[in-house]
Chains A and B, each alone.
Chain A
Amino acid sequence: MTDSTAETPGTEPPATVETPGTESPATAEAAPGLRADRVSRRTDGRLIVDGITLTLRPGETVGLLGPNGSGKSTLLRLLAGILAPSAGIVTLDGRALPRVGRRATARRIATVEQHAHTQTELTVREVVALGRIPHRRAWASASAADTRAVDAALERSGLTGRAGQSWHTLSGGERQRTQIARALAQEPRELLLDEPTNHLDIQHQLDLLDLVVSLPIATVIALHDLNLAAMYCDRLLVLREGHVVAEGTPGDVLTPSLIKRVYDVQAEVTHGPGHPAIRFLRRAPKP
């Protein structure tokens, strides 16, 4: 039922409407890239996302942090245009997502889910080729550009040697890597990832995040692990009960007091070279 709402028009018109196809220089309202302006999403009378504003700058990696149910996944769906906001607006180069259209949106924004599952017998290459669907018209068969994009995505994700392998025989890490390759085949400028490292061992977590941050694509990534967020993100957005409670660089945001406030746990933060490191403390034994 999520899709039915995605097709309803936005609640308000965009501040400015550009001519389709052109990319006008940045102005105050029509900033290039993906922007959420005071978006809210209400489900069954409860506010899941409550007035969040986020501007994704070209090429940066933004980490979404927050406990379970803080609204990270819903915010990502709003940014992808899969869900329509109850209030506020999501714009791509200044145009509201419903005006951009589903197919055109999917040519710009790619998403990777937490856990992809299929019953269909697909090879790695066939999964990656799904990313070309928004680029193809009905009836048309794959073009040379499609083949090139799929090859490049496989290469970039280190999966060229596995192209013919069945999806069902892949490990969890390889499956997520394949989903990222599929996202790259969409040739997006914005990439949204929802806890892509869940269920992966530490080696595959680091491999995956190394791959993601090496891409010249603006990325929003929901993460649970604060240390990984500190290591890989340029900027963090911390959510709690649908609100933004902190925003800034990992060094600014990840403080013991914020961690206490958001997650209700004690932690020590050491500011090493590059990025902060977080060490959680055991709860004091009850007297």
Chain B
Amino acid sequence: MSTRHLSTRHLSTRLLLLVAGGLAALLASVAFAVTIGPADISTADVWAAVTAHLGLGESTLPPLRDGIVWNLRMPRTLLAAVCGAGLALCGAVMQSLLRNPLADPFVLGVSSGASTGAVTVVVLGVGGGAVSLSAGAFTGALLSFVLVLVLSHSLGGSTDRVVLSGVAAMQLFSALTSFIVLTSADADTTRAVLFWLLGSLTGAGWGDVLLCTAVLAAVLVVCLGYARTLDAFAFGEEAAAALGVRVARTRLVLLCATALLTATLVSSAGAIGFVGLVLPHATRALTGPGHARLLPVTALAGAIFLVWVDTAARTVIDPQEVPVGVVTSLIGVPAFVAVLYRDRRKT
């Protein structure tokens, strides 16, 4: 109870400390994760490569090692951080907005739509090679989201209608994806598509990193602006309206923002599951339910989490790589069960 009586300034200080500590831990994680792998790289090598490429010094590294750091491991590790942050953020917002502890960024069918878009390009060859897998996935994700939005609106727009529409879209697009893969793909393509569907950061480039970071930054700003408003949803939409929240507008803005971010991340890295479901719950236990603290901290926690999980995914069964989505799910399922078990008391 004593911590609850802390003054405003103390609360802000605590948030600043959490965010500063999280950022430091994230930087350390990234720097360390880049050194891990078949080629022997030290943190000094990482520092040298990064400063050289940022124009802060002369590179002393041989081109091959420099390439491993700057072109392979660095973008991959950073993309892991951005995906982890974005998915955890979207998950936290979805859970509060839809008042559903089991909501995650994919609950509105974005990932299923993305997979259909991806196989349409890769397997069916729509676009004749001019359209990338990412572009196809992004288009599919947004189509699915628009379908969910239209469907839920025509069903009355309430929270449970949104969730049910998402489930319907998920089923539809999963079936379409399976249909396309089973009827048209050869074994190699099937394997490649399956790998991507499970979520993988293989082949991440600087283009992906920059795009995802830009969208993450924009959506993070929007969500933080709505942090207090999200607090008002604790007792439902009518209670939020009675607290002066414009419920329909808030829901539309936040659904669109999170769908845009999720679609961007899924197009770059596939559907990495469970980060968006589990990390917000874990973070809530640390920060309490207030979104002004929960949202930035959960984003940092997601980033650090996915950096480490991806490092494990690419090294544990060396030289074979496990899709990072498989590893997050292997960790996520027990956590998911724990969430269900804990929420048993509250019904």
Interface residues of A (CB under 8 A from B): 1-4, 6-7, 77, 80, 82, 102-107, 110-111, 113, 116-123, 125-127, 130-131, 133-134, 136, 138-139, 141-144, 146-147, 163-164, 168, 186
Given contacts A113-B239, A126-B289, contact A147 B8 (CB under 8 A): yes
Known A3-B246, A121-B288; further 10 A-B contacts with Cβ < 8 A? A4-B157, A82-B241, A121-B284, A126-B4, A130-B234, A133-B231, A133-B232, A134-B244, A141-B11, A142-B8
Query: Contact at A131–B243, with CB atoms within 8 Å?
Result: yes
> Is B247's CB within 8 Å of the partner chain A?
yes
Complex alpha-carbon distance, A127 and B288, angstroms: 12
Given contacts A118-B235, A133-B228, A138-B226, contact A164 B246 (CB under 8 A): no
> Is B245's CB within 8 Å of the partner chain A?
yes
Interface centre among A116, A119, A125 (most CB of B within 10 A): A119
A141: B residues at CB distance < 8 A: 8, 11-12, 292
Given contacts A102-B246, A117-B236, contact A138 B241 (CB under 8 A): no
B100: A residues at CB distance < 8 A: 119
Interface residues of B (CB under 8 A from A): 1, 4-5, 7-8, 11-12, 96, 99-101, 156-158, 224-229, 231-232, 234-239, 241-249, 284, 288-290, 292, 343, 345-346
CB distance from B228 to the nearest CB of A (A): 6
Query: Contact at B248–A3, with CB atoms within 8 Å?
Result: yes
CB distance from B4 to the nearest CB of A (A): 5
7 interchain pairs, CB-CB under 8 A:
A116-B239, A118-B236, A120-B96, A120-B234, A121-B288, A130-B243, A141-B12
CB distance from A277 to the nearest CB of B (A): 34
Interface of B (DSSP majority class) = helix
Nearest B residue to A123 via CB reads: B4
Query: Contact at B8–A164, with CB atoms within 8 Å?
Result: no
A77: B residues at CB distance < 8 A: 238
Query: Contact at B232–A130, with CB atoms within 8 Å?
Result: yes
CB distance from A121 to the nearest CB of B (A): 6
The 8 Å CB contact of A147, one of B7, B227, B242, is: B7
A146: B residues at CB distance < 8 A: 8
B292: A residues at CB distance < 8 A: 141
Complex alpha-carbon distance, A180 and B91, angstroms: 31
Nearest B residue to A137 via CB reads: B228
B235: A residues at CB distance < 8 A: 113, 116-118, 130
Query: Contact at B243–A133, with CB atoms within 8 Å?
Result: yes
Query: Contact at B242–A111, with CB atoms within 8 Å?
Result: yes
CB distance from B98 to the nearest CB of A (A): 11
The 8 Å CB contact of A122, one of B228, B244, B248, B289, is: B289
Query: Contact at B241–A2, with CB atoms within 8 Å?
Result: yes
Query: Contact at A133–B157, with CB atoms within 8 Å?
Result: no
CB distance from B314 to the nearest CB of A (A): 36
